[in-house]
Amino acid sequence: MKDLFAKIYKDKGPLGKWAAQAEGYFVFPKLEGEISNRMKFQGKDVITWSINDYLGLANHPEVRKVDGEAGVKYGSAYPMGARMMSGHTDLHEQLQNELAAFVNKEAAYLLNFGYQGMVSTIDALVAKDDIIVYDVDAHACIIDGVRLHMGKRFTYKHNDIASLEKNLERATKMAEQTGGGILVISEGVFGMRGEQGRLKEIVELKKRFNFRFFVDDAHGFGTLGATGAGAGEEQGVQDDIDVYFATFAKSMASTGAFIAADKEIIDYLKYNLRSQMFAKSLQMQLVVGALKRLDMLRTMPELKANLWTIVDALQSGLKERGFDIGTTQSCVTPVYLKGSIPEAMALVRDLRENYGIFCSIVVYPVIPKGLILLRMIPTATHTLVDVKETLDAFDAIRERLVNGTYKRMSAALIAAMGE
């Protein structure tokens, strides 16, 4: 019999094998200073394009004031206990009601964390006779929720309606045999590519297939739609989304999440979500802070307008300079380059150390081998000066990638890793 840990000693995984070279710099980096468009990294000032603070609320003085006052009034423990037992308050209810109204649903329910809540919601919605059909590029929290499902599940090709149709045909035949139902899951905005899910086309399929539609709109909430209600509002199909999910960790710059649906569905979920039934209630300081943030989303449209001024400037500037930003239809701005993981490390170090630009790096196995993805998150706190400096820096690092500078710089690293 093998030692359980033998596999760990032998294989650290496709990312873990780079830990000695990457940790503390490329992964698990330590940004310092107040959350903003410019922070410090290892003592240097950098333009930060890696913070999901879309509307610039994280360090907004009004938000900081409310958060501080709520902390003094309630502390970080109140209320104690799970919602069903002793952790329920009028303010929790108020926030739920306001969130439901904002996203045009009958009811909503607060979740302690987005990841945990998504996993638990999928688990509660389906039984073993049901079938799940979901986008192959779905976020890890969706994949982990699907893993809990004891019944059948199918993936469809990313944003491919023909593929979805084929899988719905398979699911329909199977559901007729099992006596179950079908749950289709998409994201409102896919956080790596920036593409919106094809929600409108998926909703159209309801005319031919009997399924319920669950949308994870973490990146769309607050950034898309006339009022900021998300990708469903943007595409004109919010009413046709059966269960809507969003997190506070992006536009709301906080912790927590929520689901919204018809009241009867929410009533069922709040009595069957294991992650909420057996976990401490969302603390009051976060609830009060979320109420303030939601009010700002409703009453300060200039926040979203400022965000999109930066998004448009950055994305149009990159395209004008010949960069591949894929097919993003959101604030998420991916920049695709060709190169190895060692070249990517050399490129990002150059970008941070010599150009003062901090953005996230994504490599294999998240994306195919031979590609480098620099993922950028514009915010309302960025300026057009930030955009210009960044575009100039990207011109420079692309030239060094193409002429082999980063390949030469990374040769020693490749040798050390035996690649």
Both 136 and 176 in a single domain?
yes
Model confidence at 146: pLDDT above 80: yes
Both 248 and 100 in a single domain?
yes
Domain boundary among 299, 322, 338: 299
CATH at 314: 3.90.1150.10
pTM for the complete prediction? 0.93
pLDDT in tens, 305-359: 999 999 999 999 999 999 999 999 999 999 999 988 888 889 999 999 999 999 9
Q: What is the pLDDT of residue 9?
A: 86
Both 271 and 344 in a single domain?
no
Both 17 and 95 in a single domain?
no
Give 246-296 as a 3 state SS string. Answer: EECCCCCCCCCEEEEECHHHHHHHHCCCHHHHCCCCCCHHHHHHHHHHHHH
Rounded CA-CA distance 295/292 in Å is: 5
Both 277 and 139 in a single domain?
yes
Model confidence at 25: pLDDT above 90: no
CATH at 247: 3.40.640.10
Both 139 and 78 in a single domain?
yes
Domain boundary among 280, 299, 318: 299
Domain boundary among 248, 272, 299: 299
Both 372 and 412 in a single domain?
yes
Both 271 and 327 in a single domain?
no
Rounded CA-CA distance 229/247 in Å is: 12
Domain residue limits at 80: 61-299
What is the distance in angstroms between the CA of the first residue and the CA of the last residue of the chain?
31
Instruction: Quote the number of domains for the chain.
Output: 2
Write phi, then psi, for 408 (nearest 5 degrees): -65, -40
What would the two tokens of residue 139 be?
């976020």
Both 266 and 276 in a single domain?
yes
Q: What is the pLDDT of residue 8?
A: 86
pLDDT in tens, 356-414: 999 988 877 777 888 889 999 999 999 999 999 999 999 999 999 889 888 888 776 55
What is the chain's mean pLDDT, rounded? 93
Both 40 and 93 in a single domain?
no
